[in-house]
Structure 1
Amino acid sequence: MNNAITADIATIGRINVVPAILQVICESTGLRFAAVARVSDNSWTACAVLDTLGFGLKVGGELDLTSTLCHEIRGTHRTIVIDKASEDELYCNHPTPRIYRFESYISVPVFRTDGSFFGTICAFDPQPAALKGSPIQPMMESFARLLSIQIESEENAQKTEQALQKERAMAELREQFIAVLGHDLRNPLFAITAGAELLTKRLPDEKSRTIAQHILTSGRRATQLVRDVLDFARGRLGNGITVNIQPCPDLGDALRHVASELQRVHPQRQISLHIGDLSGVNCDRERVSQLLSNLIANALTHGAQDQPVDVSAQIRDRAFVLGVHNVGAPIAPQVLAQLFQPFSHPLNDTVQSGLGLGLYIANQIALAHGGRMEVISSQEAGTLFSFRLPLDPDEAQATLPANP
C-alpha cells in the first residue's frame, strides 16, 4: 500500500459523518455490508467498513481490483445497481457476483471536488433487494457528493495543521536562536571587553594602551550589535520586546547617565540636557534608557557635526515626553515612511556603521510600553524624535499592540 492511499484511509477515518452514512445505507437498503473504497489505477482498498454480514474485510483491506465492479465504475463514472445478480441481464454471467457471492449490489462513484476520481461508496448482500427505481440511488449519490466536500475540507484542515506544526517548529528554532545569541555570544564579548578595560588601566606604555582601547571599543560595538540583533529577534521573530513596567523615581538619573556615556564616547560633540520633574512615571527604566541611547546615537550620526544634540524629558499633558533634537539635513518624506522599519538607512551615499535597527528597536520599546514614537523633520527646525507615554495606565493599555 503506497503512502497516498494510506493518507486517504486516514482522511476518511477522520471524517465523523462516514460511519453514519454507512449506517443509513444499510438500514435503508437492508444490505448487510457497506464500505467506502479508495479505487486507484491498480488497487481497491477499504477506507471505512460496516460489516454485519461477516464478510471479513477490514479497514485497509484490499481486493483484486479486476475482480470488482468498482473497476468498471472507475472507467465509466456511472452508478451500478443490481437487485438480483443471478437474473440480471448484464451481470448474470459476470464473475464478480459469483466471486463475492452477492445478489443485491449498489455502488456509486466518489469524485474529489476537482473532478478527479477518488473511489466508491458500495454495498451488497447475498439476498436480493429492491434497489432499482427506489430513492436509494439518489440518496447514495448525494452521500457521495457530501463525502467529496468532506474529503476536501479534511485535507485542507490537515494542511493547516501541518503548517501550524511547521510554524511551531520554526518558533522553537527562533527561541533557540535567541538563546544562543543572548548567551553564547554576549558572554564571551563581556569577557573580551572586561579584559580590555582592565588592560587599558594597567598596561605601562601608550602604544599597548591604544591597542587595548581599540579592542575595548570594538568589543563594546560588537556587544551593541548583538544586543540590537537580539532585540530584533525578540520583536520581529519572537513574542515581542518585553518590558518590566514599575515606578521609576530615578528615571532622570538614568537618562543623565545615558547622555553622559555617549558624551564620553563623542567628546567632540555637545549633548545638551533638559530634564524636568519626572515623578509619577511608570516604565521599564533600562528599556527607556536603551531607547534614549538609540535616539541620541542616531542624532549624533545624522545631525550636524558642529551643532548640539538637545535631549529633553518632561511631564506634559498627562504624558511623559522624551525628545531628542538635532540640527541638520531634514529626513526625506520617502525615508520617513519606513523610518521605523528594521535595517533601514537614509537614502544617501554615507557609509553606515550600524545595522539600521536602532530606530526600529526604539519604536518597539515605545509600543511595548503602550506609548508611541513621533518624528518631525524640516530644514528650518531640524529633526525631533519624541517618545510619548501616557501616564494614565488605561490610555497606555489601549495603545498596546496585539500579540503577533
Structure 2
Amino acid sequence: MKPASDPLAPVVLVDTDEAIARDVAAVGRISAVPTLLKIICQNTGMGFAAVARVTDGTWTACAVEDTIHFGLKPGGQLKVETTLCKESRAARLPVVIDHASTDPVYFNHHTPRLYNIESYISVPIVHTNGEYFGNLCAIDPRPAAVSDPRIVAMFTAFADLIARQLENEDRQERTESALQSERATAELREQFIAVLGHDLRNPLSSVGAAAELLIRRQTEPDLVKLGTRLKSSTRRMSGLIDDVLDFARVRLGSGMGLVMREADFLAPGLKDVIDEVRAANPTLDIRDELSINGVVRCDQGRIQQVLSNLLGNAVAHGAQDVPIVVRAAVAGDRLVLSVSNGGAPISPDDLPKIFQPYWRPENSKPGGGLGLGLYICTEIVAAHGGTLEVTSSVAGGTCFVATLPVA
C-alpha cells in the first residue's frame, strides 16, 4: 500500500508481498464474508466463490468457498492475464457467463477453456473514492443461470458491502496509527466509532434483508438454517453498533438519552428480555422473580437494555450448571433489579475495573464483545439517578444490583 492524500480515504493497491498479505488479512477479518460466499453458492448452484484482490499485475484470493475442489486457498494466486477479472477490472463492469461453450462472446475465450468452466460471474469491488480493490466472483464446470438480474443484483450488493467494510478496516488502522498521545487516541477513537456505527447501518440492513429472504425459503431447510444464523449474527452486530453509539454519545457530551414515561407494563417488558435470552440459550436454567405492580416512571427500553446486558454478561461468564436468577421489585420509590449467576468469582483486583469502557477480563472468550455493555449499564442507571453495584464471591456467586428511583 502507499499513502493516499486524504488520510481517511482508501489507499491505492500496490503489489508488494506485504500489501497483498495485509489485504488478504483485512478481508479475513470481515466476519460476514464466509456467510456471503456460502449464500452465493447456495443461490447460484455454483461450487466456487471468492473475494479476489485484483490489480494489473496480480490476482489473489482473499476468501474462498470451494466445494468443487478448485484448489485455491486464501492467499493463493492466479496469473491475472488468465482470468476474466482482468477484463472486468478494465471495463469496471460485471462479466457474466451462463454457458461458456455456447456463449456468442466467450465460446472461444482462453479463460473458460484453461480452467474448464462453463458458468462464470465476476463483479467489481470498488471503494467509494473510485479505487478498485478486486472482484467478487464465482465459477463452476456446469452451466448456471447467473445472468438472472436478481443474481447480478445480489453480487453487486455483496460487493458493495465488502468494499464498505474494507474502507472501515482501513480507516480504523490508519486513524489509530496517526494518534500521537493517549488523549488524542481517546478523542479520535470516540469520533471514529460514532462514524463507524452509522456507516455500518446500511450494509447491515442489506444483510438482514438477505437473511429474511433466505428464511422464507421454507422448502429448502439448509437455506432457512443459513438465513436464521445470518439473522442472529445481524442482530448481534446491531447490538454492538448500539453499544458503540451509546458510548460515543456519552463521551462526546450529549449524554445517555432517556425517554421517561409512565410504564404500565415494565414486568412483561423485562419478561420478554428474559424469554429472548432463554430461547437463545436453551441449555441454561434462567429463572425470574418479578414483582412490579402499578406504574413505574422510567425509560422502559433502557431498563430492558440494562437487563439484556446484565443477562448477557451472566450467560458469558456464569457456570453452565448453576441457575441464573433475575429479580425485580419495587420497594417504595425504588426499583431494584438484580441478576445473579454462579461460577468463578470476579477477582478482587478486577472488581474496580469491570464498569470501565473497553475493559474485559483476561480469560474472556474471543469475539465476546467490545467491553462496553457494563459501562453502558452504569450510564443508563446513572441517567435515571440510580446506582449499579456488584458483589462476587465463591459462596454467593456474582450479583449485579441496579437500584433506581421510579417515583
Q: Return the letter of the residue paired with 2:279.
A: R
Equivalent in the alignment of 1:82: none
The reply to whether residue 257 of structure 1 matches residue 272 of structure 2 is: yes
Matches of 1:386 and 1:231, distance apart in 2 = 21
Under a length normalisation based on structure 1, what TM-score does the superposition of the two structures give? Answer: 0.51
Select the residue among 205, 208, 211 that pairs with 1:196.
211
**Residue equivalent to 1:219:** 234
- Residues 81-122 of structure 1, C-alpha deviations (whole Å, 9 max, x = no match): xxxxxxxxxxxxxxxxxxxxxxxxxxxxxxxxxxxxxxxxxx
Specify the code of the residue in structure 1 equivalent to 2:337: L
Instruction: Provide the TM-score with structure 2 as the length reference.
Output: 0.51
1:337 aligns with 2:338: no
Aligned pairs for 1:171-182 (under 5 A) are 178=194, 180-182=195-197
Question: Aligned AA for 1:295?
Answer: L
Q: How far is 1:388 from its partner?
A: 0.3
| 8 A contact 1:175–1:238 mirrored in 2 | no
Counterpart for residue 301 of structure 1: 316
Cα deviation for residue 171 of structure 1 reads: 8.9
The correspondence of residues 113-192 of structure 1 with structure 2, limited to 5 A, is: 178=194, 180-192=195-207
Give the C-alpha shift of residue 176 in structure 1.
8.9
**In structure 1, what residue type is equivalent to 2:290?**
I
2:304 is the counterpart of 1:289: yes
Q: In the aligned structure 2, how far is the partner of 1:285 from the partner of 1:370?
A: 15
Is the radius of gyration larger for structure 1 or structure 2? 1
The 2-side partners of 1:242 and 1:295 are apart by 19
State the alpha-carbon separation in 2 of the partners of residues 338 and 172 from structure 1.
23
2:290 equivalent in structure 1: 275
The CA distance in 2 between the partners of 1:347 and 1:320, in whole Å, is: 33
| Aligned 8 A contact 1:278 1:320 in 2 | no
SS at match of 1:202: coil
Task: Summarize the alignment of residues 80-95 of structure 1 with structure 2, pairs less than 5 Å apart.
Answer: none
CA distance in 1, matches of 2:373, 2:189: 24
Whether the 8 Å CA contact 2:325–2:340 is kept in 1: the answer is: yes
Q: Which of 318, 323, 328 is the equivalent residue of 2:343? A: 328
* Residues 267 and 184 of structure 1, relative CA distance in 2, 3 Å threshold: same
Output the CA distance in 2 between the equivalents of 1:173 and 1:332.
29
The change in CA–CA distance for 1:380 and 1:173 in structure 2 (over 3 A counts) is closer
CA distance in 2, matches of 1:276, 1:306: 26
User: Which of the residues 336, 344, 347 maps onto 2:362?
Assistant: 347
Partner of 1:370: 385
Amino acid at match of 1:216: K
Aligned partners of 1:177 and 1:339: how far apart in 2? 21
For 2:176, the equivalent position in structure 1 comes to none
Q: Which residue is 1:233 aligned to?
A: 248
Q: 1:177, 1:338 → 2: CA distance?
A: 22
Aligned-pair CA distance for 1:219: 1.3
- How many residues end up aligned between the 2 structures? 223
Partner-residue secondary structure (3-state), 2:404: strand
The unaligned stretches of length 5 or more in structure 1 are: 1-166, 393-404
Letter matched to residue 228 of structure 1: D
Aligned counterparts of 1:236 and 1:285: Cα–Cα separation in 2? 23
- Code of the aligned partner of 1:262: V
**Residue 361 of structure 1 is aligned with which of 373, 376, 379?**
376
Once the two structures are TM-superposed, the CA of residue 175 in structure 1 deviates from its matched residue by 7.2
**What residue identity is the alignment partner of 2:345?**
P
The percentage of counterpart residues that share the same residue type is: 42
Q: How far is 1:245 from its partner?
A: 1.2
Q: Distance between the aligned counterparts of 1:272 and 1:171, measured in 2?
A: 41
- Residue 210 of structure 1 pairs with residue 244 of structure 2: no
In structure 2, what is the Cα distance between the partners aligned to 1:349 and 1:266? 18
- Whole-Å separation in 1 of the counterparts to 2:187 and 2:314: 35
Which position in structure 2 is the counterpart of 1:153? none
What is the match of residue 93 of structure 1? Answer: none
Aligned partners of 2:387, 2:321: CA distance in 1, in Å? Answer: 30
Q: Distance in 2 between matches of 1:349 and 1:192?
A: 28
CA RMSD of aligned residues (A): 2.5
